[in-house]
Chain A
Amino acid sequence: KAGVTQTPRYLIKTRGQQVTLSCSPISGHRSVSWYQQTPGQGLQFLFEYFSETQRNKGNFPGRFSGRQFSNSRSEMNVSTLELGDSALYLCASGGGTPNTEAFFGQGTRLTVV
């Protein structure tokens, strides 16, 4: 079956703009999580959505938000972009229950200039 699909793969934005990233999970998966990966901070958990509800949230400012649709597809939005938001953003999908594996997409590389 198809894996986790993230679009777009690469994105260049200007400081102050906003951006929306998309993630289509594996069919049947109800949990979608987002992570930010940077050389300095490593992999950091942003938030998890399960059945359209935010179930967990990491320690990021309110400029980072997300949502999940009824078909489990998820979007992540970052407003008022800062240079430090440049990162690889990874989406993971899973069954949302213990013992279920998280499958990762290839990520969206965001560059803020």
Chain B
Amino acid sequence: AQSVTQLDSQVPVFEEAPVELRCNYSSSVSVYLFWYVQYPNQGLQLLLKYLSGSTLVESINGFEAEFNKSQTSFHLRKPSVHISDTAEYFCAVSPSGNTGKLIFGQGTTLQVKP
């Protein structure tokens, strides 16, 4: 079975500061890894994904995540956050490549303060 652990339930940070949201996973098979973002009263939006290849993946809005197989981690980082990044972030794994079944972590609320 697969599981995902997001180590921080809330991360407060000041605007323009760097941030890291931590995610660890457990799986006995190869997985695909994802970060989703959820704004209030909205569904989930894909932020970035790791399927294979380069272990560093980037999104168009400045976030990046690095897949570390030895540490079974997929931490999300941004060098400088904006107020608009305030949202809940979910790390997820897709066992055996079936993106129809995602196993989510408990979520991390990023609170960006002015």
Is the pair A48, B43 in contact by a Cβ cutoff of 8 Å?
no
Is the pair A45, B101 in contact by a Cβ cutoff of 8 Å?
yes
**Does A63 lie at the interface of the complex (its beta carbon under 8 Å from any beta carbon of B)?**
no
Q: What is the interface size of chain B, counting residues whose CB is below 8 A from a CB of the partner? A: 23
Q: A42-B107, A43-B90, A43-B107 are in contact. Are A101 and B102 (CB under 8 A)?
A: no
Interface residues of A in 74-101 (CB under 8 A from B): 90, 92, 94, 96, 98-101
Is the pair A43, B49 in contact by a Cβ cutoff of 8 Å?
no
Is the pair B100, A101 in contact by a Cβ cutoff of 8 Å?
no
Interface residues of A in 51-86 (CB under 8 A from B): 55-56
Whole-angstrom CA separation of A69 from B90 in the bound complex: 30
**Does A102 lie at the interface of the complex (its beta carbon under 8 Å from any beta carbon of B)?**
yes
Whole-angstrom CA separation of A100 from B102 in the bound complex: 12
Is the pair A4, B100 in contact by a Cβ cutoff of 8 Å?
no
Question: Interface residues of A: mostly helix, strand, loop or mixed?
Answer: strand
Q: A99-B51, A101-B49 are in contact. Are A90 and B44 (CB under 8 A)?
A: yes
Q: A42-B104, A43-B90 are in contact. Are A102 and B99 (CB under 8 A)?
A: yes
Task: Digitize B90-105: 1 where CB-to-A-CB distance is under 8 Å, 0 elsewhere.
Answer: 1010000111111111
Is the pair A55, B32 in contact by a Cβ cutoff of 8 Å?
no
Is the pair B100, A104 in contact by a Cβ cutoff of 8 Å?
no
Q: A99-B51, A100-B99, A106-B42 provided; 13 other pairs, C-beta below 8 A?
A: A4-B43, A31-B99, A33-B101, A42-B105, A43-B92, A45-B102, A50-B100, A55-B100, A56-B98, A56-B101, A99-B99, A103-B46, A104-B45
